[in-house]
Structure 1
């Protein structure tokens, strides 16, 4: 099912068992922020990006090393070298994603990011070393920025796809098919929002972080929340601005977010995650990297 009909999606999705696949990744990869600087093309439709003078490449590299070390507590994590010619490459999850045995390469909107998809080292790591098949969407005309635009409940095979300049309906259909999902709900993001994963995180298939203000249709957050019940955490605008929605669970026991996001969490929302969902809240200082317009989840490409 691929639909914009929230009622039809909810009617189908609430009956989907958590037997589609593993709820969390078995490993992850990062791309180092070499030459980290403002990408002017990406800044056209990313309101979260800071002014050029606020970028600090050395600080970003130091934070990235801490991120690598922290995430490695939960799963094996590898890091590919960055390239100053691709300053947004620190956010590889928009370009590369996996399902078991398959690498998916997305089609980025901006040319500066389209260059990332051409990297032979990342492609060959998966095809030659890991033995994965490759599904290459990068050459077709429809933007589909993978797990930036499409948030996936891997346990139940459900997709939540925000439509914006970074992903149109045709791109959503291509991703739905490439990931082999049971059902995908499409919906427009609010004006000024660019990626769904800044507004929504599904954590190990059992909990969700939702930023209602980021959705154009105010009913959509409620539909998503119905699927996760008491473990749906509705974040306020301050938590959203601090990237609390840009989080990830790489294991059943912990959710990772930036230090700023963790600080912004209300006491009640922290209790929902810790006592309700059973997640420890891990955090990493990422102030320099967040000037690039994304946060912790954006930095992490999952390996299933």
Structure 2
């Protein structure tokens, strides 16, 4: 568990188990997850962690970097100091060695000096096909920096606030991608978290105008990481919706059939990672959209 992120990630819990045992369990879950993705032809690049760095959340790479079709890479300002060590140039070298082309690196990390953060595709949900970016504002997602990102990368900004109930209070959800998942033809979203009716209506209108079927989840399903999913393509361009076993188990038969109209579901047990890390399947994947040489 990363104590530096637990201050505003209300999904994290402490488990009374030795660290070494927890680490071994998390690694088992990670390896099994990778194997399931590879089984259906999804190309997974696994980067080894730097053992000497104190980076308990490096299993969630999507927060510090995003990769774009034109060869641009964005590097993001992170709320927790120990997460800033996750940004490693050798990962870019590795991708170039794998045949990917990097043209420009747009670095937003200087915002950290002013206490301003925007945590990658945790904070940003990018509808790349329709040129829209969705962002739930929080201590880890600054509105001005979000707008700057949208101007730099040519996205239309859709801004709102999403809250969860913690100890009887409504507090901001730390990342957009735990309450919402954007897929090609549908969106899985916890609309109950958007307390402001105008903002909720605006989000619904944007999704509908882009032809996306809205599949609603409840706040309790969100707490099982049912919003933390990602659509990927496997062999023969077959689409799959990737999620954890907890997320899958929380869905109703009706929600599952709505998703399965569009694509097959792949789920894997990520219990240790979810409980200690406060993130799930989507957080563990930074999609590489870079062009290939």
| Counterpart-to-counterpart distance in 1, 2:179 and 2:94 | 31
Inter-CA distance 122–178: structure 2 relative to 1 (3 Å threshold): farther
Match of 1:149 in 2: 123
| Counterpart-to-counterpart distance in 1, 2:49 and 2:270 | 17
CA shift for structure 1 position 222 = 3.9
Aligned partner of 1:105 among 63, 75, 95: 75
CA shift for structure 1 position 175 = 2.3
2:134 aligns to what SS in structure 1?
Answer: strand
1:140 aligns to what SS in structure 2?
Answer: helix
Inter-CA distance 223–63: structure 2 relative to 1 (3 Å threshold): same
- Structure 2: gaps (5+ residues): 164-170
Q: How large is the Cα RMSD of the aligned pairs?
A: 1.9
| Counterpart-to-counterpart distance in 1, 2:287 and 2:64 | 12
CA shift for structure 1 position 104 = 1.1
CA contact (8 A) 2:66 2:73 kept: yes
**What is the count of residue pairs matched by the alignment?**
262
Match of 2:133 in 1: 159
| Counterpart-to-counterpart distance in 2, 1:215 and 1:48 | 18
CA contact (8 A) 1:74 1:250 kept: no
| Counterpart-to-counterpart distance in 2, 1:178 and 1:64 | 34
Inter-CA distance 126–170: structure 2 relative to 1 (3 Å threshold): farther
Inter-CA distance 247–66: structure 2 relative to 1 (3 Å threshold): same
Match of 2:55 in 1: 86
TM-score under structure 2 normalisation? Answer: 0.83
Aligned partner of 2:279 among 294, 299, 302: 294
1:186 aligns to what SS in structure 2?
Answer: strand
| Counterpart-to-counterpart distance in 2, 1:62 and 1:272 | 31
| Counterpart-to-counterpart distance in 1, 2:256 and 2:48 | 35
| Counterpart-to-counterpart distance in 1, 2:223 and 2:72 | 34
| Counterpart-to-counterpart distance in 1, 2:144 and 2:256 | 37
Aligned partner of 1:256 among 242, 245, 254: 242
Match of 2:181 in 1: 201
Aligned partner of 2:266 among 277, 282, 294: 282
